[in-house]
Amino acid sequence: MHEMMNSGGMAMWGMGAIWLLVILLLLLGIAALVKYLFSARD
């Protein structure tokens, strides 16, 4: 049972790290898009 909890914790950390990367990439993409739109408007 303890081993299962331990591996589950590792999987949870892995998923958390992946989600953080996905969110970070999304934010960067949105920022780049907004920057592009505002520079294209001028």
Q: Where are the domains of the chain?
A: 1-42
Above pLDDT 70, what percent of the chain? 81
Given a cut of 90, is residue 1 above it in pLDDT? Answer: no
Question: CA-CA distance, 36 to 41, in Å (whole number)?
Answer: 9
User: Sign (positive/negative) of CA torsion 21, 24, 28, 33?
Assistant: positive
Q: Is 40 helix (H, G, I), strand (E, B) or coil?
A: helix
Q: Tens of pLDDT along 24-39?
A: 999 999 999 999 999 9
Higher pLDDT, 10 or 21: 21
